[in-house]
Amino acid sequence: MTFGDIKYRLNEFWSEFRKERSGLIGLGILIIALLIVIFEPLILPWKDVNTKWRSIDYWQDNSANAPPAWTNAFTKLKAPVTMRLEDAKKEETELDGGIKLVTYTFDYHYTADKAPLDVILHITGHGDIPFQVAIERPDGETIDLAQRFEQGLSGQDIRLSIDNDGREAAFTFVKNYESQEALEQFSGKSLRTADVLFNIAQPGMAKEFKPLKGTYKLIAKAMLLDPENSSVEEPYIVVTGSVSGILGTDDSKRDLFSGLIAGLKWALLIGFLTSAISVLIGVMYGIISAYFGGAVDSVMQFVYQIVNSMPVLPVLIVISAIFKPNIYMLILVMVLFFWTGSVMTVRSMALQIKEETYIEAAKALGAKKSRIIFKHMVPILIPYSFASMALSVPSAIVYESSVSLLGLGDATIVTWGQILHDAMQGAAILKGIWWWILPPGLLIAIMGMTFAFLGFSMDKILHPKLKTR
């Protein structure tokens, strides 16, 4: 087959395929999914989600079970959105004795009706460094929140939380406005630091929160006692809000949008790899069974009936429970059962092709059996395999999700089924955390629908008995 023949057949196929609206919808969704996988590093809000999905430290700055940020549009009182501040104004001051003072100033524009849950400073240090964190409010008040002296640093990340480290300073600030009687009802531990810092300074502020909106200056100071051997770098601040990201967070503070984007490539890999290998095996199995016939066909059909009658999901569950779950092991097991899907259809088509005149002519000319199969029969049946492959992709995705939902999936990767399993373990339905359940479930359904549309459309075009044009 020449390049011109391939080009002609592809053009002919496309002219038919573009008439199928469902096929075009499926193709469009698939192209979008592939683009997301290709540009995943640029799309992911949390870049290390693939390797640190189960790392507690990586997600510690987020709020647990936070709704998506866009839910603010449907509430009267606007909640603060979790955000990361990286643009800081840097100043260096030379002090007596060769000591250098490095000051980073971050601007935070506060417009919400509720206080943030926390404000967290991260900075990387080397050597022995005293740190100080302060906040300058829109009303001109400056509060020194926390001080810390870190020794022997060698590139560690220093984390200062105002909710923990600034609690005493916040209580001291409240004393300037509250009476002694009012303060007796509170202690330093019963007041959230952020509720004080973002509250209007007035009597009664300990009982009632009234947001002081405006621009806050978050000031971080680091004193380099030995500038030649000590330094600070990569400062940033995380403002932990009550709402977070595009799809919110789960009870482990993980960003669900990042998890779903990271899980897309595994859904496509599982679907494509399982369907491609199983359909290829099934097509060759059906052709060989039909061509040789007789005892060979009887034995092969007996094996087919045995494999086809075995339930896939229970076997997957048992194997995953016995052995350490691995994504490639799951794919292998699914291939061992999925290859039967296309056998009977291919066999019936191969039986018809076997009786064609050109096949008889090839036999008469002394052509080898392998040549007849691969030269004359396989090229005719390969187009059908593409339709069969597309139709088997949804099953592979759903089976993997089912196994992961039961907690028997590969824990080293992020899949949609595992996200649903975690939601089930976290009682997301009872807690009303719908953003933890609906998105992964919808994505599984949409991905299955995508390949079903593609498969049905290609089946109409490529399957002789289903052709409508």
Measure Cα distances from 48 to 119, 258, 262, 410, 462 in Å: 22, 9, 10, 18, 43
Given this model, what pLDDT does residue 468 score?
Answer: 45
Does 1 have pLDDT greater than 60?
no
Q: What is the DSSP letter of 38?
A: H
Q: Indicate the average pLDDT of the chain.
A: 87
Would you list the DSSP string of 194-229? HHHHTB--STTTTT---B--EEEEEEEEEEESSTTT
Cβ atoms within 10 Å of 90's Cβ, excluding its own: 10
Does 466 have pLDDT greater than 60?
no
User: Model-level pTM?
Assistant: 0.86
Does 111 have pLDDT greater than 60?
yes
205-229 pLDDT per residue, tens: 888 889 999 999 999 999 998 888 8
Pick the range with the lowest mean pLDDT from 27-41, 276-290, 351-365: 351-365
Give the span between the Cα atoms of 76 and 282, in whole angstroms: 59
Q: Which one-letter amino acid corresponds to residue 94?
A: E
Domain with CATH 1.10.3720.10 in the chain: 3-43+256-462
Question: In CATH, which of 1.10.3720.10, 3.10.450.50, 3.40.50.1820, 3.90.1150.10 is domain 3-43+256-462?
Answer: 1.10.3720.10
Pick the range with the lowest mean pLDDT from 200-204, 369-373, 398-402, 457-461: 457-461
Pick the range with the lowest mean pLDDT from 9-18, 132-141, 429-438: 9-18
User: Tokens 């980073």 correspond to what residue?
Assistant: 104
Give the span between the Cα atoms of 32 and 422, in whole angstroms: 27
pLDDT > 90: percent of the chain: 46
153-178 pLDDT per residue, tens: 888 899 999 988 888 898 889 888 87
User: How much is the average pLDDT of 53-60?
Assistant: 92
- CA 339, 344, 347, 353 dihedral sign is negative
Give the span between the Cα atoms of 231 and 153, in whole angstroms: 9
Please give the span between the terminal C-alpha atoms of the chain, in angstroms, as a whole number.
Answer: 25
User: Tokens 């009012």 correspond to what residue?
Assistant: 182
Given this model, what pLDDT does residue 469 score?
Answer: 40
Domain with CATH 2.60.120 in the chain: 77-240
User: How much is the average pLDDT of 339-360?
Assistant: 86
Give the span between the Cα atoms of 28 and 397, in whole angstroms: 19
pLDDT tier at 345, thresholds 50, 70, 90: confident
pLDDT tier at 5, thresholds 50, 70, 90: low
pLDDT tier at 116, thresholds 50, 70, 90: very high
What is the phi-psi region of residue 213: left when phi exceeds 0, alpha when psi lies from -120 to 50, beta otherwise? beta
User: Tokens 């002519």 correspond to what residue?
Assistant: 361
Angle between helices 438-462 and 21-38 (to 10 degrees): 130
Maximum alpha-carbon separation in the chain: 109
Given this model, what pLDDT does residue 446 score?
Answer: 93
- Tokens (6 digits) for 277: 């290998």
Question: In CATH, which of 2.60.40, 3.20.20, 2.60.120, 3.30.530 is domain 77-240?
Answer: 2.60.120
Given this model, what pLDDT does residue 185 score?
Answer: 64
User: How much is the average pLDDT of 87-106?
Assistant: 90
